[in-house]
Amino acid sequence: MNFTPYNSNLFSFLFSSPTPFHAVTNIEKHLFQQGFIGLQENERWQLTQGHGYYLTRDNGAVIAFILGSDESCEQGFRMLAAHTDSPCLQIKPRAEIRVGSYLQLGVEVYGGSLLAPWFDRDLSLAGRVCCRMSDGNLGVYLVDFHRPLLTIPSIAIHFDRDANKNGEINQQKHLPPLLSQSVDGQLPDFTTLLLAQIQQEHKKADVAEILSFDMFCYDFQEPAYTGAKNEFISSARLDNLLSCHAGMLALGKAERRKNVLLFCANHEENGSTSASGAHGSFLDSVLERIITDPTSRRIALCNSFLVSMDNAHAAHPNFMEKIDAAHEIHLNKGPVIKLNANQRYATNSISAAIFKNVCKEAEVIPQEFVMRSDLPCGSTIGPITAARLGVRTVDIGAASLAMHSIREHTGAMDPYLLCKSIEQFLRSEAHRKIVNYCVR
């Protein structure tokens, strides 16, 4: 199998999506090109069977769905979910820090970042800027400096001989990146830089004043293959744009005969509690508007199935003591079904079995992950969505290494295998073929 075209498309999605806002815009663009119709949450909708639709909330989350021509809403939806955000450094509102001749930017840590890999990288800046326009309106713009702009230099080993042993990172003191230096008495100010960038990217913008922004640092290094046979992929934000990309492609290709839905939520990395997060009302409210009758909606949810996608931990060859030997996950060995006795993942025996049947139909062999019993388990949007909606859910994902690093790794076949399994799910009847003998 030649994975190159799939991975080339993934690489350009990853590199052109430095923030959740950019990822959502790219998903919208793709779905629009595939004939989906854009909806606005603050307008009334006219929905027709046989058509695909999409809408966004707060620029950071997107829901897309097809009302199948051959299915009633009560037959339920094949649902996919993923998250658009990744751990990173976010610029503080009053960003400028002046130390000697240097200009630095204050940052907060967004999500559970692995911080050491942020040092000595060529960082760029991207995000969303809100402006008062000359006509008095509020203008909201996406910006991406798209060049190496910032660095966080390490302290030389000579000043900290124990750096390789201890290496503690103080988030307030050690992380502000270097933006500029005054050599001729002149220092650019951050607002002027932002304004120039808006004008470069949005030629017609008539901005009077910048009022606020959500700006994030990101690693300006393109995704790449690594390994003697190009068997690995190395990139920023594989967690979880890899899954958003797979969901976007699968939904774009899905036949218009069946009910399918994709939810890409923001703010998973800090707990999902926001208007655009999985704990928020976005998905409930869209379902309420698709199926207005409460009883019909409940029947639809009982007949639905959710595949919640988020990357899974592969066994790290240098840390084999960190894994449960019976659940050793490998790159390039297929999508991973994630289980946890304490519901940190929503998978149960029924949802795992359904997904295994989907994989069999797709001729993909899945792997099964549980955390070591003496280590705490991470979580994802699966349990939150399952609890909110009461929908049967499986948590799955592509195997990966270095999760939450500035640069993560997966197998060259993993994104494609994930996509192949969910493409099959969107046409499968596997979630409906259940006879529950536990019930009399």
Q: Which residues bind Zn ion (CB under 5 A)?
A: 239-240, 310
Query: Cβ(39)–Cβ(60) under 8 Å?
Result: no
Distance of closest approach, residue 312 Cβ to Zn ion, in angstroms: 10
Strand order in the sheet with 224-226: 224-226, 232-235, 408-411, 399-401, 312-313
Distance of closest approach, residue 303 Cβ to Zn ion, in angstroms: 28
Looking at the Cβ atoms of 76 and 277, the one nearer to Zn ion is 277
Looking at the Cβ atoms of 198 and 418, the one nearer to Zn ion is 418
Cα distances (angstroms) measured from residue 68 to each of 65, 354, 396: 9, 21, 25
Looking at the Cβ atoms of 234 and 240, the one nearer to Zn ion is 240
Distance of closest approach, residue 51 Cβ to Zn ion, in angstroms: 31
Distance of closest approach, residue 210 Cβ to Zn ion, in angstroms: 31
Query: Using alpha carbons only, how large is the chain's radius of gyration in Å?
Result: 23
Looking at the Cβ atoms of 177 and 277, the one nearer to Zn ion is 277
Give the integer Cα–Cα distance in Å for 306 and 298.
Answer: 15
Distance of closest approach, residue 418 Cβ to Zn ion, in angstroms: 13
Largest CA distance in the chain: 84
Distance of closest approach, residue 364 Cβ to Zn ion, in angstroms: 21
Closest CA to 15 of 200, 217, 219: 219
Distance of closest approach, residue 296 Cβ to Zn ion, in angstroms: 33
Q: Which residue has the tokens 């302290």?
A: 155
What's the gap between Cα 341 and its chain centre? 25
Looking at the Cβ atoms of 291 and 418, the one nearer to Zn ion is 418
Helices H / strands E in the chain, number of each: 9, 20
DSSP 54: E
Query: Cβ(217)–Cβ(91) under 8 Å?
Result: yes
Looking at the Cβ atoms of 198 and 244, the one nearer to Zn ion is 244
Query: Cβ(340)–Cβ(371) under 8 Å?
Result: yes
Looking at the Cβ atoms of 207 and 244, the one nearer to Zn ion is 244
